[in-house]
Structure 1
Amino acid sequence: MSAPTDPPAATAPAEADRRGMVRLGRVLGVPVDLSWTWSVIALVIVAMFGPQVHVLFPGLGWGAYGVAFLYAVLLLLSVLVHELAHAASARLFGWPTTRIVLNLWGGHTQFGSFQASPGRSLVTALSGPAANVVLALGGQLLLATAAPGGVAGLLLGIFTYANWLVAAFNALPGLPLDGGRIVESAVWALTGNQDRGTIAAGWAGRGIVVALVAAVVVVPWLQGHRPDIPMILILVMVGYFLWAGASESIRGGRLRLRVPDLAAARLMRPAVGLPADATVADVLARPAGTLVVLVSPAGVPEAVVDEDALAAVPAQDARAVPAAAAARALPAGAVVRAGDAGRPLVDRLAAVDGAEYAVLAPDGTVCGVLRQPDVVEWLTTGRRR
């Protein structure tokens, strides 16, 4: 159970992302995938509640565990409605929904690229808990008016309780929960920067984990109560999900905050361009501390000389061995300008499947090499390698 992906979100998932998934079909035009991890929570629910159902209805025998399995199915349906509410509200704002995934942690809705605002983000996030409140109120109404008995009454009560639980849990004000968008949108509106809001909401999510640990473990321990092992196991699962999601939100927010300061000229390693038919001896004559990019007769960077391979060439063979023999080929289009920076630079790097790029000066000559690890290091830590 989670809020929509932080805009701009990931694009449509590759086929590899569907490994371990079962396509349940489409609802409101949105593909719905069920992860194998859902079976874990289903087994936990059956193991926990099967014996309780057997006590209530001893005549069911092993069927009591089938009823407990229906608990898991009703929870799954509640989560599906929750995620469909996200998708439906996003559609009102023209945000493309790529799929809904139901898994161990509940589920999440994936979106394509879209332009958000604090208000729209908040509305889309809170539509999920709102849908569960509607379902819970409907269940309460049926319980009060129809008053079904037996297994039907038990399942209706569980369905009502599950929706109250899903709504309340997701409304907690911290990412990755839907209520985290309250914090994010408030900080976003105050600062004009969504990423600062995301970071603040991520820290709020971590605070929720600390509060849950205090409520479930610390307070009972101080009161002299024995540990509730099943509750602690649930806390471990939920706490891991929340802490990991909150940490990812913080990391992603910090990364996006650094994007505007990303600049090819700042992160490139100095380099010179040499003709593609240059020899190892020509490379060795380059200015100290610079890399070498081999350039075609048409002026297109083609390869970067590998320093380790260069050192392996015997000195007596330097004039005879072509530099291309000690070079790594550049993918087509692996070229950026020294003035490229910010989001356009990120988009340019993402458009080329490579790990290094030739950097061109304003006059079109090679002036550096930009390496993907250097970019990642800058975006993740704010430091140069």
Structure 2
Amino acid sequence: MSLRQILQSYDVSRRDFMKYCTALSATLALPPAFAPQIAEALENEDNRPPVIWMEFQSCSGDSESILRSGRPKVGDLILDVLSVDYMEVIMAASGHLAEEAKEKTMEQYKGQYLLIIEGAIPVDDDGVYCCIAGDSAVNHLKKAAEGAAAVIAVGNCACFGGIPAGYPNPTGAKGVQKIISGKPIINLSGCPANSDNITALIVHYLVFGSLPAVDRHLRPKFAYGKRIHDNCERRGHFDAGQFVEKWGDEGHRNGWCLYKMGCKGPETFHNCPTLRFNDGLSWPVMAGHGCVGCAEPGFIDTMAPFYRRLPSVPGFGVESTATKLGLKILGVSAAVFGVHGMISFFRNKDIVQQVESEHLDNEDKKEN
């Protein structure tokens, strides 16, 4: 079944599909003119790279994220545009049949398939803490990565070790980039990763045949190029010095800044405020809970306690300091022009009013 037929079966019109492609181009920081190219790449049945999706120490949250999205039915879109040959959460096969399917893809499409990893990889005690089909996760990862065209780590656990790697890290859990080298690796961090970012990344690969530009943590810049704080809808309240002081207080009810309640937005890079979750409906801060920094390395340790404010993120405090700021400006002006000059100005304010009046009269004549 072609992608167009699939979309039609879900009552997704061509117009809606093109809107979706335009939204994807915006997510990728591309001009809207790229929408037709994205649509063509998605509809090209010969453009289906095989995918092996392996899951290790995780809660399956990233799998659920991609499967439960719907713009339009992203789970089905991805599973049909791509050839997902191995993914524990959705595949009907199990046991040796599932392993045979993976081995076949690795042999037949060596150097062509995309390897998507979900969950951390334990390495202590020869990796005994996560074993699949009689072998350790670390061995499965190394073997699958050897023939992959690129490795995509989804979720904080696969990227940086996540919760399993939290202190004292009893299993020696690590992220993919700490184990695999010599292969293109890209991290889609978050807990879970946003399904639209997963889709956008794959679309970039389909359209350009390569992975997008990344930051120092190997995260795509289109999704992690700005701090959450920069685009947060509560940023204006931060600048105005309006903070929630207690859960349920008037500020909380009015959508004021959650910085004092422990929000980690000023130190977290992600596009949560613009992309949001639940098909763009909302995201944690919009729902009234501070950001916990789940897109950052080691967040479970470095960002905890989640309800304690960051040590030093100064706010401007426009409303709370407006009077003091005005007095300071007047003080500077007096120092520059001299007290007598300032007094002279205010004494001759009738001259200023006369000039303003003449200017307005001239403007009225022009209009008439």
TM-score (normalizing by structure 2): 0.26
Query: Which structure: greater helix fraction?
Result: 1
Query: Which structure: greater strand fraction?
Result: 1
TM-score (normalizing by structure 1): 0.26
